[in-house]
Structures are given as structure tokens and as C-alpha cells.
Structure 1
């Protein structure tokens, strides 16, 4: 059934594939500029009682649930309907930060989480179906188009980090920061930052200089405005993916149950089991950036106003690598690029572990953050490309599984941030890097073996056909 659906979608998108991918990228840039800006500041500006970190854990906890059931709801609401719903939830989340108490943050966080699985699974379906349609129309190898279209999207998706974070730094720099209200001097505060920071220290020792509340409200109002613009673009700019659903409620329920079961079934396959550790690594890298780097390595030693510029630099290099590394993988081989990326990420965490906070250490930590953006962007794009090539006929279930595991990894990592010191978190990251590189090498070996078996079956089938043709010719000659 999925294969017929893919073919239909490809024909309907004919001639509009590239424009659709670019439109989708623009929508995500606008919507996520506000979300990324807020996300990177939550652990600092909403540090009281840990409500910022708790709200993010609610987002990704609900994300896990919504990702699993995403294929079911996409069958009913359509991919564009799910994208619109996701844009509305991000608008509500940005608005809730104008009055950031527990009940507003947690309810908005739950809404975002429960729609994010639909949003990101729909995004994966749009990119994959555009690539399939383009490959069929232009007679271009599908593998190259998957890498190209995912590269275009993730190149664009790096710009929310640039726009949102630059906006946050520019606005927050207009505020006043009174250092005399803290319990410790600047030199003592800096020594407690970096790998030495523990969750309770940020509250008991007054390590953070917070901006004027009015400045924060102005920033959140700007992010809310961006979310409104993104919602309007999604409604009027993005073409729909035509997915037909019958009006029978019994038929709809059966489709939803079948879709959820297919998502569960994908996770029992050997290829997906070997793929999961790399997905978890990517999710841990992402959430370590939002929670730990912004808090322990930038806000603590240098001030919250520098978080935006650091994350914007990370986003620029993230976008560059998203665009270039899939092309490099096509030239020299995906397995060499992916292995190098995982090793590079491991090395970046060595940098976070050994870096000693100093008053003039901002250029050093910004350099490490920039390099990590280069590595994380390439890893994200190549993972999506690899998944698209592995499951060309089950894109909805495959991308739902991808987002489920990413959300689960983010939830676990954010939860650990509430209890563990930075040094302990870094050791966990090293262990995950080791597991990821072992599982990825095993995955490439499995896919190579599977490809060889397919080629052998294809050759045997051709040989059987040739024998039958020769037999038919001999029979004809005899007559």
C-alpha cells in the first residue's frame, strides 16, 4: 500500500519538488527561530525551581508519545494538516513564555510535544516523497536526490539558530546586569562553571546574572511574532501531500491501528536496531547544546547575553555542513564521513572536559561550540539520508521511529541534567559515542551484506529467465 501511495505522491508533486522543499525550509526557519532562541535560554532565565529544564523535559517526553502515533494521525489529518497543527503549538509555546509560571510553561510544553512528532514525521515524508518524485521524473539515482534534498532542508534549518539566537543576544544586551546582587564574585563564579558545574550550585551560589524582566518580555514578544508569520506561511505557501482517507470511521480506525503497528514493527528490524544508537547520540548532542553548553559554558562564566551569538555561530557551521557533507559522502563514501563525524564529536567532548573557565576564555569555548555545530549538522543530515534510503517504501513509519528515538534521547538527557553534574554527563556522552561508532560500523556491514544478497537474487532471477527463454527458443526451432 505504501508503494502505491509513494508513486501517487510522486506524480502529483511532479515539477514542484524543489520548490516544495525550499518552501518547507522557509517555514521551519521562521517557526523555529523563536523556538530555538527560547530553548537555549530556558535553563538560565527560567532557572528558578528548575522550571525551564522541566518544561523542556515535558516537551520531549510528550514528543516520544506523539512520534509513535504520528503515522496514524497523518493518515487522518494529512501531512500539511499536521504541519499546521505543529506551527500553532509553537506559537502557543512562545506566547506562554510571556508569563512563564509552571502551569503556563508545562501546558504549552505538553502541547508542543504532542504535536512535534506529527510535525517532524510530516517533514520527513515531504522530503522523501519529493525526492522519490524527482528521481522518477528526471531519471536520477534516488540515493543522490535523498542526500541533496535533505541537505537543502537542513542547510535552511540551521538558520533558525542564527536568527533566533542573534535576536536574543541583541535584545538581551540592552538590559542591565547588576553583579553586586550575587553571593559570589566574578572570579569565584567562573571557577565553578564548565565541567565543574552541578545543578544545585546555580541556585545556592547565585551563579547567573539575569536580565531585566521587561527585556525578556520584549524578546518573547518578538519570538511570538515570528511564530505567527511561520503559521501563515505554512497555510498559504506549502502545497499539500494528497493522502486519501475514507469517510468510514471503521476504516479510519483500522488505518490508524495499522499505521501505529507498522511503526512498532520497523523497530524490530536489525537495520533499525543498529541505527538507533546513532540517533540517540545525535539527540544527546542536541540537548547538551541547549541545556549544558548554554548554561555551564557560556551563561555561567560570561553572561546570558552571549548565549545567542555562540549558538548563532554554531548554527552557521551547522548549515554549511548540512549542505556540503552529503555531497562529500556521495564522492568518498558515506561510511567514511559518518565515522569521522562520530570520532570528531567524541573529540569535541574531550574539549569540554579539559577546558578551564577563565575571564578571557570566550573565544576558546566559542571555537569548540562552532566545531561541534559543523559535526552535528553533518550527522543529522546523513542520518536522515541513510534512513530515507533504507526505507523508501515505509517513510512514514521510519521517520516516526526516528523522531521517537530522538525525543526519547532528548528526554533522558534533559532529565539527567536536573540531577547530574557536568563532568558525569560528559562521561555518559563518551560511552554513547563508543556505542554509536560500533553500531554504525555493524549497520554498514549489515547493509552491504543485504545488498550483495539482493544482487545475487537478481542475478539468479535473470539467469532463470534466460534459461526459460532459451528453452522456448529451442522448442520453437524444433517445431
Structure 2
């Protein structure tokens, strides 16, 4: 009891909760809006195009901005400024056009790098400070902080999609169960422009403008509340001395690519972007919206969010017993089974439960990829963690960018083959990394073991 009281007195738990709720509110808005882009702004593929711009800008942001901005204004104000960038994108959706969505998408992408890096750095800093004062291990306290953060943050996928589903469920448009031939273009057979003459198109299920404006107003309010909460209640931290030159800081991400292990991990890191992009963009449009209507997208993605959250917690608990390789093998098997099934499945409205099975399984696999690959980066690159995780965010964003870029030009079955190809390539090259690590000299092996004990921010995501 005394330990709990001390925890509160130090204000560290308060700061963790503040930043966690801030991210919860921010991504309740952005996450829900991202899942709707391929269905909501379908004209000319504008919604997916804006997502491509976001991740294109995020690539540049991850390469250059985080160290420079954090060094200049500190973690707290880096996070606050980045949150403001996210709000502009929500506002741009009120009047969607190339002149509103594209610039705001670019601004959001620029803010993404400093947002996540600032958050990780902030939680690690206050965790290590509290550990030093209390005489505990820094990795244990940081682990607790990230556990609290992701426990709260993962709920954004539930709340954001629940809000959209509740609002759009008021739409007067009803989904009629038509002849099976009316859904022939849904699912893997969905191709750009192929279903424009069918009643089951995305446009047919588009909600009324008043409901769209209501949703965007709620999302904008969530974003503003996140900024106000973080700016007022989050305590700033003194900036650490950094004697590195501007050039060294600027190019650290590129220098890290000289490590062949990093290069071998690029395909698997990109795959994470591909698989998340497919579910949030292609599955929601070609399967859910095409057959059930846009009002069901939120409910389906809630299933994904709950599955990812619970499985992240489970994986963090059992990974110490099963090992990383076994969990990645399970994720690979799940993704391959889902991809093959999606290629063969002909979705119909009377198969309602099946629409929720796929996101649940996909969320289970995604939880493994996110936690275990973050852990792998943490173990392998402890001496260059900032550059390593900048590369993680960079190549994951490249995967997102490519997936969203070809979304308006390829059929869904081709996209499934692309995701499958990236998975196979990623696992093969990952195996090469494991081989290199297992064939190290004994001294190198000891060093790797020490690195594994020196856990840093992003790896804490595996310990939820």
C-alpha cells in the first residue's frame, strides 16, 4: 500500500495516464476515420489517395524530423504539436477534395514521426527517473508504463469504430439481401470500376451528409480534447544534453542501414504495413461495405481492435515460455489461412458472422507481428535504438504507402497475392537473421543476451 501511495506522489502514474488518454482520444478520431476512407471518400479514390499521402509524409518524417524536433522543443510539446497536425486532417474531411484532404494528409504524416517518438521517449524518461529514485530496475518500470499506455490506447480502436457505427446506423439506407449474382464483384473479385453499375457499390451505401458531419464533429472534438488535456496536464521534462551534430542526428537512420540484419528485416517490417493496410482499406471496402454497408465497418473493426488488444497482452505473457519463433510461426499460419480463405470466399449478407471471424483472426496475427518484431528490433539494435526504431517506422510506412498507392488500380485478389508474397519473403529473410544470431561467437552471444535485458521503449509493447 505504501508503494502505491509513493507511486502516486511522484506524479509518474498521472503523467502516464494523461499521455495515454491523450492518445486514446486522438486515435479514436484518426483510427475510426482511416478505416472509413476507402468507403467514405470513394470518388476518384480520394480517400485511399489521402492515406497514401499520409504514409508518404510519415516516411520522410520518420527519417528526419523526430530527433531534430524533440531536441528543439522537448517531448511534451512535440507530442502536442503533432496532435494538432492530426486534427487538421479530420477538419479537411468536412469538405473532401484534393485541395483539402491532400495538404492536411501531408501535414498529418509529418506529425506522425515526432508524435510516436516523442511518446516513447517521454514514457521511457519518466520511467527511468522513477526507477532511479525508487531503486528499481528501469526496464521493469518502463514495462509497467507501456503496459498502462497500450492497455488504454488500444481502446481507441473500439471507441472510434463504435462511434462511427452508432452514428451511421441511423442512416435510412437499408441493406437488402439480393440475388447472389448482385454480389459477384464483392470480395476477391472486386476490381476498380468493375462494379460501378451494380446496386451493391460503395456509393449505394453512402450515409447522409448530416451523419457524416456529425461523425466528423465528434472526431474533431476528440482531437481538440486530446490537445488540451496533454498541453495542460502533462508535465514537461528537462531536455537531455545531446552533443551530436545536426548532420549526425539527421542521417542516423540511413547510417543504420549499414547493418545487414536491419536490411534483412525490411521485408517483414514492410509486411506489417501491408497487412494492416489491407484490412483497414480493402477488407472494409470490398467485403464489408460492398455486402453489408458502411454502417457495419465500425463493428467489424471493433472486433479487430479487441482481438489485437487481448492478444497483445497474451503474447507478452507467453512469449517468455514459447519463444519468439514459435509465435511468429503461428502468426504466419494464421495469415496464410486467412489469405487463402479470402481468395476463395464469396461473401453474402446471410454469412453475417463470417465477416467478424476474419478481423478477429487477423487481429490475433497482427498482435504477434507488432509485439514480436518490436521486441526483435529491441534486442538486436540496443546500441542504436533511436535509429533502429526510426527504420522500423520508416519501412512499416513504406508498406502502408505502397498498399494504399496501388489500391485504386489493382483487383483485390492481386492485392492478396502481394500480401502473401511479402509475408513469405519476410519470413525467409527473418530466418536468415535468426541464423546469423545463432551462429555468433560466444562473446557476441553474451552481448546479445545483455542487450535483451536492456529493454527500451518500443520493446515494452511486447510485455503488455
* Structure-1-length-normalised TM-score: 0.84
**Alignment partners' CA distance in 2, 1:329 and 1:310:** 28
Choose the corresponding residue for 1:42, options 15, 37, 41.
37
Deviations 1:142-186 (A, max 9, x none): 4x7676654543333321110010100100011122779xxx966
Q: Identify which of 32, 48, 51 aligns with 1:53.
A: 48
Aligned with 2:110 (options 114, 124, 149): 114
Match of 2:192 in 1: 199
Distance in 2 between residues matched to 1:443 and 1:174, nearest whole Å: 51
**Post-superposition shift, 1:398?**
2.1
Q: Superposition pairs for residues 226-245 of structure 1, below 5 Å?
A: 226-244=222-240
Q: Which has the larger radius of gyration?
A: 1
Could you tell me which of 121, 124, 127 is aligned with 1:125? 121
Aligned 8 A contact 1:98 1:220 in 2: yes
Q: For residue 388 of structure 1, report the CA deviation from its aligned partner.
A: 2.8
> Paired residue for 1:28?
23
Of 55, 64, 67, the residue aligned with 2:59 is 64
Instruction: Measure the CA separation in 2 of the matches of 1:155 and 1:349.
Output: 29
- With over 3 angstroms needed to count, the CA separation of the structure-2 counterparts of 1:34 and 1:456, relative to structure 1, is closer
Q: Secondary structure at the match of 1:200?
A: coil
* Match 2:78 to one of 76, 79, 82: 82
Instruction: Work out which of the residue numbers 155, 159, 176 in structure 2 matches 1:163.
Output: 159
Structure-to-structure mapping, 1:246-285, within 5 angstroms: 255-285=245-275
C-alpha separation in 1, matches of 2:443 and 2:255: 22
CA displacement at 1:42 relative to structure 2? 0.7
**Residues in 1 aligned to 2:246 and 2:226: alpha-carbon distance in whole angstroms:** 29
Pair 1:390–1:101, CA change in 2 (3 A): same
Instruction: In structure 1, list runs of 5 or more residues that go unmatched.
Output: 1-13, 459-479
Paired residues of 2:328 and 2:369 also in contact (CA < 8 A): yes
The offset of 1:21, in angstroms, is 4.0
Contact residue 82 and residue 122 of structure 1 kept, 8 A: yes
Deviation at 1:362, TM superposition (A): 2.1
SS in structure 1 of the partner of residue 99 of structure 2: helix
Determine if the alignment matches structure 1 residue 342 to structure 2 residue 332: yes
Distance 1:134 1:406, change over 3 A: farther
Counting matched residue pairs gives: 436
Q: Quick one: structure 1 residues 389 and 347, their matched pair in 2 at CA, closer, same or farther if it must change by over 3 Å?
A: same
Does structure 2 conserve the Cα–Cα contact (< 8 Å) formed by 1:280 and 1:409?
yes
**Is the partner of 2:206 in helix, strand or coil?**
coil
Closer/same/farther in 2, CA of residues 428 and 455 from structure 1, 3 Å limit:
closer
Greater shift in the superposed pair: 254-263 or 228-237: 254-263
- Trace 1:80-479 onto structure 2 (pairs within 5 A): 80-129=76-125, 138-140=135-137, 142=139, 149-177=145-173, 187-205=180-198, 207-208=201-202, 209-244=205-240, 255-450=245-440, 452-454=442-444
Superposed CA offset, 1:70-108 (max 9, x none): 222222232222211111011111111111122111111
Aligned-residue CA RMSD (Å): 2.8
SS of 1:102's equivalent in the other structure is coil
- Assess, with a 3 A threshold, how the Cα gap between structure 1 residues 51 and 402 changes in structure 2: closer, same or farther: same
2-side partners of 1:39 and 1:21: how far apart?
26
1:463 matched residue in structure 2: none
Seen in structure 2, the aligned counterparts of structure 1 residues 279 and 423 have a Cα distance that, compared at 3 Å, is: same
Contact 1:72/1:255, CA 8 A, preserved across alignment: no
C-alpha separation between the residues in 1 aligned to 2:143 and 2:284? Answer: 31
TM-score, with normalisation over the residues of structure 2? 0.86
CA distance in 1, matches of 2:171, 2:441: 59
